[in-house]
Amino acid sequence: MSTARHIPVMGAEVLQLLAPRDGGRYLDATFGGGGHAEAILSAAACTLWAIDRDPEAIARGAALAARFPGRLHLLHGRFGEMRKLLQDAGVGSLDGIVFDLGVSSFQLDEPRRGFSFRADGPLDMRMGQEGRSAADLVNQLSEDELARIFREFGEERHAPRIARAIIAARKRAPLSSTGELAAIVRSVVPPDASGIDAATRSFQALRIAVNDELGELSRALEQAKDLLAPAGRVVVLAFHSLEDRLVKRFMAAQAGRTPKPSRHVPGPDFQAPAPMFRLLTPHALRPSAAEVAANPRARSARLRALERLAENSVATTSHARAA
- The CATH number given to whatever domain includes residue 246 is 3.40.50.150
pLDDT above 50: residue 248:
yes
Do 92 and 136 belong together in one domain?
Answer: no
* Domain boundary residue, one of 211, 236, 258: 211
Widest distance between CA atoms in the chain = 72
Please indicate, yes or no, whether residues 126 and 83 belong to a single structural domain of this protein.
no
Residue 6 lies in a domain: no
Task: Identify whether residues 88 and 123 lie together within a single domain.
Answer: no
Same domain membership, residue 95 and residue 217: yes
Q: Is residue 105 in some structural domain?
A: no
CB burial of 127-138 (b: ≥16 within 10 Å; e: otherwise) equals beeeeebbbebb
The answer to whether the CB of 103 falls within 8 A of the CB of 207 is: yes
Residue 294: other Cβ atoms inside 10 A: 11
For residues 75 and 140, membership in a common domain is answered with: no
Looking at 189, 211, 233, the residue that finishes a domain is: 211
Question: Does 177 reside within a domain?
Answer: yes
Least confident of 30-34, 48-52, 239-243, 260-264: 260-264
Is 287 found in the same domain as 263? yes
Distance from C-alpha of 146 to C-alpha of 144, rounded to nearest angstrom: 5
The size of the chain, in residues, is 323
Could you tell me if residue 2 is inside a domain? no
What per-residue confidence (pLDDT) applies to 320?
39
Residue 68 pLDDT exceeds 90:
yes
pLDDT in tens, 187-238: 999 988 777 899 999 999 999 999 999 999 999 999 999 999 999 999 999 9
What CA–CA distance (Å, rounded) separates 60 from 134?
25
DSSP characters over 178-224: HHHHHHHHHHHSPPPTT---TTHHHHHHHHHHHHTHHHHHHHHHHHH
Instruction: Let me know if residue 3 belongs to a domain.
Output: no
pLDDT at residue number 106: 74
Give rounded-to-5 percent helix, strand, coil for the chain. Answer: 50, 15, 40
Instruction: Tell me whether residue 281 is in a domain.
Output: yes
Q: What percent of the chain has pLDDT over 90?
A: 77
Please report which confidence band the pLDDT of residue 323 belongs to, taking 50, 70 and 90 as the band edges: very low
Query: pLDDT by residue (tens digit) across 87-125?
Result: 999 999 999 999 999 877 777 777 778 788 888 999 999
Same domain? For 181 and 303 the reply is no
139 lies in which domain range? 110-211
| Beta strands 228-238; 302-308: pairing state | antiparallel
Query: Span 250-278, mean pLDDT?
Result: 73
Q: Whole-prediction pTM value?
A: 0.87
Q: Are residue 224 and residue 202 in the same domain, yes or no?
A: no
CB 228 within 8 A of CB 176: no
One domain, residues 20 and 53: yes
70 and 116, same structural domain? Answer: no
The C-alpha atoms of residue 135 and residue 186 are separated, in whole angstroms, by: 18
- Please give the mean pLDDT across all residues of the chain: 90
Q: Is residue 238 a part of any domain in this protein? A: yes
Helix (H) or strand (E) holding 52: strand 47-52
Q: Please tell me whether residues 117 and 200 are part of one structural domain.
A: yes
CA–CA separation, 217 vs 289, rounded Å?
Answer: 28
Helix axes 159-172, 143-154, angle to 10 degrees: 140
Domain boundary among 211, 233, 266: 211
Domain assignment present for residue 145? The answer is yes
- Do the Cβ atoms of 258 and 252 come closer than 8 Å? yes
Q: How many domains, in total, are found in the chain?
A: 2
Cα gap 82→223, rounded to integer Å: 7
For residue 322, pLDDT over 50 is answered with no
Q: Give the domain CATH number at 178.
A: 1.10.150.170
Q: Kindly state whether residues 167 and 205 are assigned to the same domain.
A: yes
